[in-house]
């Protein structure tokens, strides 16, 4: 009975902790519990009700927000299933539909009718149907189990909960833990997989500023793209079919072109990926001193090799541009995170907090040794951090053929063991063919070979010789050529010449008639098998990494439980974990350093001032320059110019890309697309003085669609909110009548 009361009290305590008493710009809050924040939101200018934000029984703003492809956020902006999201979220869709002859990535694209919209295979969106607290069920299932044995039981009860929630429906569900497995929530979704590209600006607008301006303010980037959700005749999810109908949403966002001013209420609604705000000082030190610099170095190898090839011709640039953009984004992120963690002295601040915690916990046996246990765990892990980074997708798995080799090996084994199951064989062949197609699209022999050899060289030089795997030592001995660099280049030449698993032509020939005996002797496969994560870990780490991960999970769980006991009235919010969240705050300027203040808004004047003809990052299309010269801003302009981007103090992270920025009336005012350099420590430590969200202004989005794209059909589909009715030309009036 005492244990049940204790569990019930803990659940109640966790829920009560959502009552905020800190500045509202910090925190990614669960919509189900946003009512706890309502009074603070009202004070800042929010004019709707909690039920307008999240409701299961009636349409609410949550029904207009989608998880876009599982990596971004989008918002429904019309009664016909139109989606706004970021340009970088739609980048791959545009690149995959571009050729040197019809290069929509560079020239932009706006469908003038539904028939012109481009289906994007593999793309999907998910709507959140509802969420529920299932902590009581999970707690009951794991009651009495030691922490080490909970995961299996949690997985078991999770399957039951998901099955019960989705049985007899087309819905899907997942159970996610929050507060480091002190609470569990069930999320139920509806997935739509017929998604079509409707519009995207030229990348000279959508990616204006490139890597130079990435994570920087002031910013002048038109980071938006447009898609549409399609459904079957019953408005339910359906596979792509030419006769599918535009989805009719429960809710869509009106689009405001009234503008923003300093101090206005602003809310971001989306699916933030990952934060680690409760990371200890030991974790901060590992990130800044070991992990981040290694990740940056390895990504830099890829970026330089790709860039050399992309600069040679348009076709290569189109092939590699999407992967390049993905890697470049977080290459700069890890540079900035390291710099800002050090600048804001986060390690030292964490140490102070932990010393104070240890003092509080001295007479509490459950928590008294918590940080000495953390110290022991990290002391065991730290010598292997660099090797562990190299062992992942940033390092030994960075070149696509390596991962594919193991995928194809599994497929060949499965085909042999189930050769009489025709349906299974057909499915495996279809999946293999799709993997081959995707591989061939981004294969570049010169770049791939260079990346492969340089990463192995860096591994040889950076990882202590005592930790070198046997296969690395044998490569060095058998192919030695006076230096590590020459040695691994020689080995790369050998693999590309002898393996059937690397070049697309050889690979297709082999997979057309796969042979297990040939596979098992193939030098590419012999290498790939060594770096398969499970095999690599078993051969080179033993249980060091898994023991560390298990111990840290246990300590993190205990630490969050302790923090809740220590600070019962504090506004402790859960880390982001790709589930729907709301952050709220204000449009707000900031001062990055003494004597300097950044305004909330940038405009097209600043964009044109940065213009550099023919430059990879700062070129602009002629259509924009011509419209600018004529000051043709229509109703989207203000005071003789055109707003482009603005900033707010909302709390976001990766996954929020494309999230709607919503004003106090529930209207869309912008699309969040970036953070600022001064606060790139934000995933680990939020800084209320510097943290800003950079968004593209809806006025610039609509101007690009309308004036530059000539897509009145899209404009007419939107519910546009204005201060005053627009002054329409005779031509516009005729179009609207039609």
Q: How far apart are CA 553 and CA 558, in angstroms?
A: 9
Instruction: Decide if 468 is catalytic.
Output: no
Structure tokens at 719: 């519910």
Enter the tokens of residue 730: 């005779």
Element (DSSP H or E) covering residue 478 = helix 470-478
Catalytic entry in 25, 106, 133, 223? 223
Closest of 28, 229, 232, 268 to residue 127, by C-alpha: 229
Alpha-carbon span 98 to 465, nearest angstrom: 46
- Rounded CA gap, 364 and 390, in Å? 40
Q: Which two structure tokens, joined as six digits, stand for 74?
A: 């989008």
What backbone torsions phi and psi does residue 491 show, to the nearest 5 degrees?
Answer: -65, -40
Contacts of 145 (CB under 8 A, 6+ apart): 153
CB 78 within 8 A of CB 719: yes
Contacts for 287 with CB less than 8 Å, ≥ 6 apart: 279, 337, 338, 341, 684
Q: Active site residue: 88, 139, 556, 648, which one? A: 88
Task: Find the distance separating the first CA and the last CA of the chain, reported in whole Å.
Answer: 71
Q: Is position 344 annotated as part of the catalytic site?
A: no
Ramachandran angles phi, psi of 178, nearest 5°: -130, 170
Residue 261 exposed, middle or buried by CB count within 10 Å (0-12, 13-18, 19+): exposed
Active-site residue, 695 included? no
Distance CA 85, CA 696 (A): 10
* Residue keyed to tokens 């530059």: 708
Q: Judging by DSSP bridges, how do beta strands 660-662 and 265-270 pair with one another?
A: antiparallel
Q: Are 128 and 187 in contact (CB under 8 A)?
A: yes
Q: Is the peptide bond before 554 cis (omega within 30 degrees of 0)?
A: no
SS3 184: strand
Q: Which two tokens stand for residue 417?
A: 């063991």
d(CA 487, CA 493): 10
How far apart CA 250 and CA 240 sit, in angstroms, is 21
Catalytic residue among 583, 657, 681, 695: 657
**In terms of residues, how long is the chain?**
738
Instruction: Check: CB of residue 225 under 8 Å from CB of residue 90.
Output: yes
518's enclosing H/E stretch is: helix 516-521
Residues designated catalytic: 88, 223, 657
């Amino acid at each position: 009975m005492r244990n049940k009361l204790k569990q019930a009290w803990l659940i109640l305590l966790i829920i009560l902790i959502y009552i905020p008493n800190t500045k509202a710009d910090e925190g990614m809050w669960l919509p189900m519990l946003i009512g706890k924040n309502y009074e603070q939101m009202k004070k800042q200018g929010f004019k709707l009700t909690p039920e307008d934000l999240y409701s299961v029984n009636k349409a609410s703003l949550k029904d207009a927000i989608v998880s876009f492809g599982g990596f971004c956020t989008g918002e429904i902006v019309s009664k016909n299933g139109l989606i706004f999201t970021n340009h970088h979220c739609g980048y791959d869709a545009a690149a995959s539909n571009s050729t040197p002859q019809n290069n929509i990535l560079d020239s932009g694209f706006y469908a003038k009718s539904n028939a012109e919209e481009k289906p994007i295979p593999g793309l999907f969106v998910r709507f959140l149907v509802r969420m529920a607290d299932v902590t009581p069920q999970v707690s009951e299932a794991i009651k009495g189990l030691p922490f080490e044995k909970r995961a299996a039981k949690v997985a078991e009860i999770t399957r039951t909960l998901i099955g019960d929630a989705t049985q007899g429906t087309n819905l899907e569900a997942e159970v996610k833990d929050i507060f480091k497995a002190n609470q569990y929530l069930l999320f139920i979704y509806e997935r739509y997989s017929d998604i079509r590209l409707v519009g995207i600006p030229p990348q000279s607008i959508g990616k204006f500023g490139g890597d130079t301006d990435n994570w920087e303010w002031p910013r002048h980037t038109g980071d938006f793209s447009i898609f549409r959700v399609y459904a079957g005749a019953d408005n339910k999810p359906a596979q792509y079919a030419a006769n599918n109908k535009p989805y009719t949403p429960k809710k869509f966002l009106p689009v405001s072109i009234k503008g923003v001013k300093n101090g206005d209420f602003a809310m971001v609604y989306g699916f933030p990926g990952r934060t680690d705000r409760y990371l200890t000082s030991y974790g901060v030190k590992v990130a800044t001193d070991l992990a981040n610099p290694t990740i940056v170095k390895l990504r830099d190898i890829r970026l330089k090799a790709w860039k050399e090839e992309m600069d040679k011709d348009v076709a290569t640039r189109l092939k590699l541009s999407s992967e390049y953009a993905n890697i470049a984004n977080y290459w700069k992120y890890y540079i900035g995170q390291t710099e800002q963690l050090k600048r804001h002295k986060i390690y030292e601040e964490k140490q102070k907090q932990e010393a104070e915690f240890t003092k509080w916990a001295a007479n509490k046996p459950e928590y008294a040794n918590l940080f000495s246990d953390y110290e022991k765990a990290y002391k065991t892990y730290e010598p292997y951090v660099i090797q562990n980074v190299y062992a992942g997708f940033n390092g030994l798995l960075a070149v696509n053929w390596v991962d594919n080799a193991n995928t194809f090996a599994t497929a060949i084994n499965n085909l042999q063991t189930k050769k009489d199951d025709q349906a299974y064989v057909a499915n495996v062949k279809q999946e293999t063919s799709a993997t081959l197609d995707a591989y061939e699209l981004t294969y570049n022999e010169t770049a791939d070979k260079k990346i492969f050899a340089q990463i192995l060289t860096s591994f040889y030089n950076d990882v202590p010789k005592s930790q070198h795997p046997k296969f690395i030592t044998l490569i060095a001995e058998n192919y030695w050529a006076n230096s590590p660099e020459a040695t691994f280049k020689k080995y790369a030449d050998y693999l590309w010449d002898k393996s059937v698993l690397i070049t697309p032509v050889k690979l297709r020939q082999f997979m057309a008639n796969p042979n297990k005996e040939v596979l098992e002797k193939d030098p590419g496969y012999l290498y790939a098998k060594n770096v398969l994560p499970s095999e690599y870990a078993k051969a080179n780490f033993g249980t060091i990494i898994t023991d560390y991960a298990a111990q840290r999970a246990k300590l993190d769980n205990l630490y969050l439980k302790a923090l809740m006991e220590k600070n019962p009235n504090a506004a402790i919010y859960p880390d982001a974990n790709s589930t729907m969240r709301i952050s709220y705050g204000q449009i707000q300027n900031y001062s990055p350093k003494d004597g300097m203040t950044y305004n909330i808004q940038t405009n097209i004047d600043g964009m044109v001032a940065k213009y550099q003809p023919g430059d990879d990052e700062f070129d602009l299309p002629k259509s924009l320059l011509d419209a600018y010269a004529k000051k043709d801003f229509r109703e989207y302009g203000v005071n003789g110019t055109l707003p482009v981007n603005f900033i707010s103090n909302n709390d976001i992270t990766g996954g929020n890309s494309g999230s709607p920025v919503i004003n106090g009336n529930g209207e869309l005012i912008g699309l969040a697309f970036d953070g600022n350099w001064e606060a790139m420590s934000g995933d680990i430590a939020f800084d209320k003085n510097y943290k800003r969200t950079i968004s593209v202004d809806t006025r610039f989005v609509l101007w690009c669609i309308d004036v530059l794209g000539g897509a009145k059909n899209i404009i007419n589909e939107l519910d546009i909110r204005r201060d005053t009715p627009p002054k329409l030309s005779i031509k516009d009036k005729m179009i609207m009548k039609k």
